[in-house]
């Protein structure tokens, strides 16, 4: 999540910078031909007078004035061509900036994904390392495992009573969450107990990876206990876990079950 937040923040900065750069690229507006015609008429008039006087000819005056107006139109056309080319280059620059921004954003998210994958791999590697340490020192967990197994047995007794002779199967959801200071147990038959590390004389855990490793180790040990103890009961045991949260779903046939009597 941290890497994703940083990537999103960088993407926002890149887009903000892109907007600023694009706003600086302003297109030019093609001027109206009338302004050039007016200038051509005015300046052409004075030029025509000069030409007419120089050649002492009215036709020279008219010719000079005509070509001045034509020249103004030509200048306007050249100016339009220049502006069109300029505006075209602006669009090309915008396209280039957009492509560069998209490429930068892609690299930012690729880098974020790479870092996240590395962190997940390192996290999983650390969990496995702690799990192996716990397995190699499983004797130290005997009191903790006994507590959980006794709680399961107690829950099974209550579930059996609740099932009575009306349910074909006895079912229990046995859940627990490992934190650095305690383990919270909950069952589907109403048990909710906090196992405090300190009061049971265990050192508190230091990392989330230790919590997840302990949760996995407990799942294995509690599961082995259940399957071994109730092997003759045709039990089904399914596991589910999310980090340090574990759920064991237990089912076994209810030997007290009595089928309902058909009335009609």
Residue-wise pLDDT tens digits, 138-154: 889 999 999 999 999 99
Tell me the whole-structure pTM to 2 decimals.
Answer: 0.68
Say what angle helices 58-136 and 208-229 make with each other, to 10 degrees.
Answer: 50
Residue 41, sorted as left (phi over 0), alpha (psi -120 to 50) or beta, turns out to be alpha
Please check whether residue 163 lies inside any domain of the structure.
Answer: yes
Measured CA to CA, the distance from residue 202 to residue 31 in angstroms comes to 85
* Residues 129 and 6 grouped into a single domain: yes
Residue 6 belongs to domain spanning: 2-133
* Residues 115 and 233 grouped into a single domain: no
* pLDDT tens-digit series, residues 63-101: 654 656 666 666 767 777 887 788 888 888 888 889 999
* Residues 87 and 170 grouped into a single domain: no
Enumerate the β-bridge partners of residue 185: 176, 193
Please check whether residue 264 lies inside any domain of the structure.
Answer: no
Measured CA to CA, the distance from residue 201 to residue 90 in angstroms comes to 73
Burial of 61 (0-12, 13-18, 19+ CB in 10 A): buried
Question: Is 80 exceeded by the pLDDT of residue 44?
Answer: no
* Residues 34 and 148 grouped into a single domain: no
* Residues 125 and 232 grouped into a single domain: no
Please check whether residue 91 lies inside any domain of the structure.
Answer: yes
**Last residue of some domain: 133, 155, 172?**
133
* Residues 248 and 151 grouped into a single domain: yes
Please check whether residue 260 lies inside any domain of the structure.
Answer: no
Please check whether residue 21 lies inside any domain of the structure.
Answer: yes
**Strands of the 236-242 sheet, one edge to the other:** 192-196, 182-187, 169-178, 245-253, 236-242
Please check whether residue 258 lies inside any domain of the structure.
Answer: no
* pLDDT tens-digit series, residues 157-176: 999 999 999 999 999 999 99
Total domain count, the chain? 2
Please check whether residue 111 lies inside any domain of the structure.
Answer: yes
Alpha carbon 233 to its chain centroid, in Å, reads 46
**Last residue of some domain: 133, 159, 178?**
133
* Residues 116 and 188 grouped into a single domain: no
Please check whether residue 262 lies inside any domain of the structure.
Answer: no
* Residues 18 and 120 grouped into a single domain: yes
**Last residue of some domain: 88, 104, 133?**
133
């Amino acid at each position: 999540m941290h890497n994703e937040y940083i990537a999103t923040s960088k993407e926002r900065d890149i887009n903000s910078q892109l907007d600023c750069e694009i706003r600086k690229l302003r297109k030019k507006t093609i001027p109206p031909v009338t302004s050039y015609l007016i200038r051509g008429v005015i300046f052409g008039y004075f030029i025509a007078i000069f030409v007419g006087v120089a050649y002492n000819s009215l036709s020279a005056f008219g010719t000079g004035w005509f070509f001045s107006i034509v020249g103004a139109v030509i200048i306007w056309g050249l100016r339009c061509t220049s502006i069109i080319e300029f505006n075209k280059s602006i669009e090309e620059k915008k396209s280039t900036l957009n492509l560069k921004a998209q490429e930068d954003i892609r690299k930012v998210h690729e880098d974020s994904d790479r870092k996240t994958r590395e962190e997940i791999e390192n996290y999983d590697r650390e969990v496995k390392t702690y799990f192996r340490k716990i397995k190699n020192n499983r004797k130290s967990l005997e009191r903790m495992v006994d507590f959980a197994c006794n709680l399961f047995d107690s829950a099974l007794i209550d579930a059996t009573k609740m099932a009575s002779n009306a349910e074909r199967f006895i079912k229990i959801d046995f859940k627990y969450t490992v934190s650095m200071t305690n383990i919270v147990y909950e069952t589907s038959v109403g048990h909710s107990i906090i196992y405090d590390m300190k009061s049971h004389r265990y050192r508190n855990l230091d990392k989330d990876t230790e919590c997840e490793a302990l949760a996995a180790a407990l799942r294995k040990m509690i599961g082995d206990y259940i399957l071994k103890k109730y092997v003759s009961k045709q039990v089904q045991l399914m596991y589910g876990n999310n980090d340090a949260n574990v759920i064991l779903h237990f089912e076994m046939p209810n030997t007290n079950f009595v089928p309902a009597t058909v009335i009609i």
